[in-house]
Amino acid sequence: MPDLEEEIRSLQLDSAEDNGVVNPEETKPDEFDRMEEDSKEVVETHSTESVQVGKKVKQKDILAPEDEAEEMESNEKRHLNVVFIGHVDAGKSTTGGQILFLSGQVDDRTIQKYEKEAKDKSRESWYMAYIMDTNEEERVKGKTVEVGRAHFETETTRFTILDAPGHKSYVPNMISGASQADIGVLVISARKGEFETGYERGGQTREHVQLAKTLGVSKLLVVVNKMDDPTVKWAKERYDEIESKMVPFLKSSGYNVKKDVQFLPISGLLGTNMKTRVDKKECSWWDGPCLFEALDAIEIPPRDPNGPFRMPIIDKFKDMGTVVMGKVESGSVREGDGLLVMPNKAHVKVIAIFCDEDKVRRAGPGENVRVKLSGIEEEDILSGFVLSSVEKPIAAVTEFIAQLQILELLENAIFTAGYKAVLHIHSVVEECEIVELLQQIDPKTKRPMKKKILFVKNSAVVVCRVQVNNTICIEKFADFPQLGRFTLRTEEKSTLLLEVPDWMHVACLYHDLSHFLAFHVRAATEAVIRQQFGDGVIDELFDLYRKKLGVLSSMLESGKRINLFVLLKREAFN
């Protein structure tokens, strides 16, 4: 047993230096001056300075901007990732489906099939949403659950649509979609009563705007939808009323409305003012662009094609090998490149790269791609891992220092050491705890205040030490904004602790522990493990894991522990 324990310890990938606190050099006043003045957060909080941490496939290049002049085909279009956000039933999926239909991605026969299916479900007006809401659960419920993904093109731009769910139960999925986006389309219903429901306190219009800004969506198209509704009839008064209420809120959320926000009216169901401008007979007062024109006019955000390669992994699957999906946030990747999967430090080789249905030799920042890898098994990869350059890998930490702005706490709650929340950063969702409040930032001077703090309340900006249960990949905000901004969210205690069945806790903890086994035991001699596999060995691994990562709850000290071991014995070498 001692030899086995020593071997397992030697195989642990998260070495002491990797998991130590990555502390920004002494927190100096001028560092806080760099804080994004317009950033907001929900605790929801925002880190402005985190720490490092069968179609026939066509072959072509997708190149970084600096290489376009020499290698890119003259007709290669720029690429933008667009997330559709807004309150439930605002018409996000319908608008996204209409875009795909108008851009020729969906034919008339498919639309007719969806019309019949929607009618059979007594949801006649939802047939366009079926283009984006592809699974049966979403169609039966009539609401988006997962982030829908689709592609379309205009004359100048290739777009990836990310259709985020609007229901408050699926906010984590919305965060996942927004973290991959370059720009946002905020869909608002003009129908009488629907705008008010989404806008008032607790509505998802407000939370989605705050989260989008927090997650780096710096430009918004505010689409006032359902202008054809009988309660609206393209009335300018209703449009102006919505705009007048939204502008102050957008400003308070950190948006420069004159520079980064544009309003326009549409009918997502009928496609009015989307591909072509609305007819003057229908809407005499609108002189602005249609939706396609507005999307084409948006500038591409700055990207670094020559930086260290970074691609957060949002999904993985097997397809004649291991394939991972994600958005390239920095650098470029080619077939044959050697990369590192973090945080488990697995060396891999790029076998193939796919963008949409096209096989490409190379991809640059901003591209949503699928990358086929050798050197790693699909089950050894989790969402939240990062494909990274070997020379300058992303940091992997369990504790870090961050600067947060608190937007909203639960009623009567205070933000202090011991505060627990769920952290969302790029494709990571991880439980965390505030272990220490270090400094409060003066909102006027943007400099640290001298007085010692024990707690803060809403609207405060604070520097604190954050500890996560498992190792995560993170960067300094100043170096990689996309990988250095995060959101903390909390829920009511009754929802978190009382309403979740015990078996769900066991499933989550079993997943974490079997993940540990896969990484730290698989590389050991399998024969040795098989010979000595029993509850004793499992106990040793259990204790090592609990001491190292500290994620197992006290409930496992009861009867659930034995059942967990039985599952582990059966599944550890699947």
User: What pLDDT, on a 0 to 100 scale, did the predictor assign at position 523?
Assistant: 36
Instruction: Determine the average pLDDT of the residues in 509-538.
Output: 41
pLDDT of 232 over the 90 cut: yes
Sign of CA dihedral 133, 138, 144, 148: negative
Chain segment 81-98, per-residue pLDDT in tens: 898 988 888 888 889 888
Range from 99-103, 137-141, 291-295, 416-420 carrying the lowest mean pLDDT: 137-141
pLDDT of 330 over the 50 cut: yes
Provide the b/e sequence for 156-168 (b: ≥16 CB within 10 Å): ebbbbbbbbbbbe
199 pLDDT tier (thresholds 50, 70, 90): confident
Question: What is the secondary structure of 471-535 as a DSSP string?
Answer: EEEE--TTT-HHHH--EEE---HIIIIISS-HHHHHHHHHHHHHHHHHHHTTTS-HHHHHHH-SH
User: What pLDDT, on a 0 to 100 scale, did the predictor assign at position 334?
Assistant: 94
User: Pick from 208, 189, 344: which is nearest to 266 by CA?
Assistant: 189
User: Pick from 219, 86, 203, 93: which is nearest to 148 by CA?
Assistant: 93
User: What pLDDT, on a 0 to 100 scale, did the predictor assign at position 406?
Assistant: 84
User: What pLDDT, on a 0 to 100 scale, did the predictor assign at position 52?
Assistant: 33
pLDDT of 450 over the 70 cut: yes
Q: 283 or 88, which is more confident?
A: 283
Q: 572 or 218, which is more confident?
A: 218
* Structure token pair of residue 395: 């940091």
As a whole number of angstroms, the distance between CA 424 and CA 333 comes to: 26
User: What pLDDT, on a 0 to 100 scale, did the predictor assign at position 458?
Assistant: 81
**Structural domains of the chain, ranges and CATH numbers in brackets:** 19-52+395-490 (2.40.30.10), 58-64+303-389 (2.40.30.10), 79-297 (3.40.50.300), 500-571 (no CATH)
Q: Say if residues 182 and 81 touch (Cβ distance below 8 Å).
A: yes
User: What pLDDT, on a 0 to 100 scale, did the predictor assign at position 78?
Assistant: 85
User: What pLDDT, on a 0 to 100 scale, did the predictor assign at position 424?
Assistant: 84
Per cent of the chain over pLDDT 90 is 29
Helix axes of 204-214 and 171-178: crossing angle, nearest 10 degrees: 40
Instruction: Determine the average pLDDT of the residues in 131-136.
Output: 65
User: What pLDDT, on a 0 to 100 scale, did the predictor assign at position 274?
Assistant: 95
User: Pick from 122, 150, 112, 148: which is nearest to 133 by CA?
Assistant: 148
User: What pLDDT, on a 0 to 100 scale, did the predictor assign at position 544?
Assistant: 52
CA-based Rg of the chain, rounded to a whole angstrom? 25
Instruction: Determine the average pLDDT of the residues in 115-121.
Output: 76
Instruction: Determine the average pLDDT of the residues in 327-353.
Output: 93
231 pLDDT tier (thresholds 50, 70, 90): very high
Per cent of the chain over pLDDT 70 is 66
pLDDT of 547 over the 90 cut: no
CA 104: distance to chain centroid?
A: 28
| Report field, pTM of the whole predicted structure over 0.85 | no
pLDDT of 526 over the 80 cut: no
Q: Say if residues 267 and 219 touch (Cβ distance below 8 Å).
A: no
User: What pLDDT, on a 0 to 100 scale, did the predictor assign at position 391?
Assistant: 93
pLDDT of 294 over the 60 cut: yes
444 pLDDT tier (thresholds 50, 70, 90): confident
User: What pLDDT, on a 0 to 100 scale, did the predictor assign at position 10?
Assistant: 43
Chain segment 396-415, per-residue pLDDT in tens: 999 999 988 887 777 767 88
The Cβ-side half-sphere exposure at 71, using a 13 Å CA radius, reads: 12
Instruction: Determine the average pLDDT of the residues in 117-125.
Output: 72
Range from 196-210, 267-281, 357-371, 451-465 carrying the lowest mean pLDDT: 196-210
pLDDT of 459 over the 50 cut: yes
User: What pLDDT, on a 0 to 100 scale, did the predictor assign at position 120?
Assistant: 75
428 pLDDT tier (thresholds 50, 70, 90): confident
User: What pLDDT, on a 0 to 100 scale, did the predictor assign at position 313?
Assistant: 92
Instruction: Determine the average pLDDT of the residues in 172-176.
Output: 74
Main-chain dihedrals φ then ψ at residue 552, nearest 5 degrees: -85, 130
Q: How many CB atoms lie within 10 A of CB 197?
A: 17
pLDDT of 237 over the 70 cut: yes
As a whole number of angstroms, the distance between CA 571 and CA 553 comes to: 21
53 pLDDT tier (thresholds 50, 70, 90): very low
Across all residues in the chain, what is the average pLDDT? 73
